[in-house]
Amino acid sequence: MAAPTVAAGPRVVFQAARVDLIRDDALLLEQVSLTIRAGEHWALLGPNGAGKSALLQIMASYAYPTRGQVELLGHRLGRVDVFSLRPWIGHVSPHHPVDPQRTVREVVLTGVTGTIQLVQRRETSPAELARVAELIELMGLGGRPDAPWRVLSQGERGRALIARALMAEPRLLLLDEPATGLDVAGREQLIASMVELRERLPGLATVLVTHHLEELPASTTHALLLRAGRLVAAGAARDVLRTELVSSCFGHPVVVTCRAGRWAAVAAPAR
């Protein structure tokens, strides 16, 4: 498959210009403008109902803006066959259906075809098997390639799904609340894998959706705060993840701190 043409210069993988999204007469997104370039790692934060999932659906090409324009991998949504773009977009959700009998290796291998099950009678090439092994190792699962899905921890499952999404060598990786249900150890293992991704795949752009600043890896370069479908702020993480902006986004006074590249938010002390 030939790669889609992308913008020159710092490659733009996603660009939204004054986007509105209306569903069932509800305005889910309003006047959202955003540019994501290759190698950037975005955090998408906001309270429940902020429109995070709606924006992620547009980024994944599963929703179209009601008004405004979206460029995805150098192509205008609405003027391109999205099926030609989707192999270049990795979309990881904790709700992805997986056969509990499948091993880690088999689950990651389904990323080649973008299917839930392995395709029958399809020959797997040595290069594909080598890439499966490489990605399993990258995501910290080197000792678990033959472990069946049913015995994996929630954190191991999440990292296996990220490895699966990387099989197609995407330009854009969307992570929908990947730390959901993880304990502290599982969360930290996931975050360590995300940092490794930035070092090993410098051209990959990622968007991580979360409610919690503590789930952001130190590799986070940019952040977007969304509230009631509107942008509160978007830009470099150090400029956006500030006490006043995060407090405004979540409608509650918090104090934001950053130590060694890791963010945290706690309730502001009562006055």
Domains of the chain and any CATH numbers: 12-267 (3.40.50.300)
pLDDT (tens, 9 = 90+) of the chain, 271 residues, equals: 344 444 433 599 999 999 999 999 999 999 999 999 999 999 999 999 999 999 999 999 999 999 999 999 999 998 999 988 888 999 998 778 888 899 999 999 988 887 776 667 677 889 999 999 999 999 999 999 999 999 999 899 999 999 999 998 999 999 999 988 889 999 999 999 999 988 999 999 999 999 899 999 999 999 999 999 999 999 999 999 999 999 999 999 999 999 999 999 999 887 6
**What is the separation of C-alpha 59 from the centre of its chain, rounded to a whole number of angstroms?**
10
154: exposed, middle or buried (Cβ count in 10 Å: 0-12, 13-18, 19+):
middle
Q: What are the DSSP E strand ranges found in the chain?
A: 12-23, 26-37, 41-45, 67-72, 75-76, 89-92, 172-176, 205-210, 222-227, 230-236, 254-259, 262-267
Q: What is the pLDDT of residue 119?
A: 63
Q: What is the pLDDT of residue 238?
A: 96
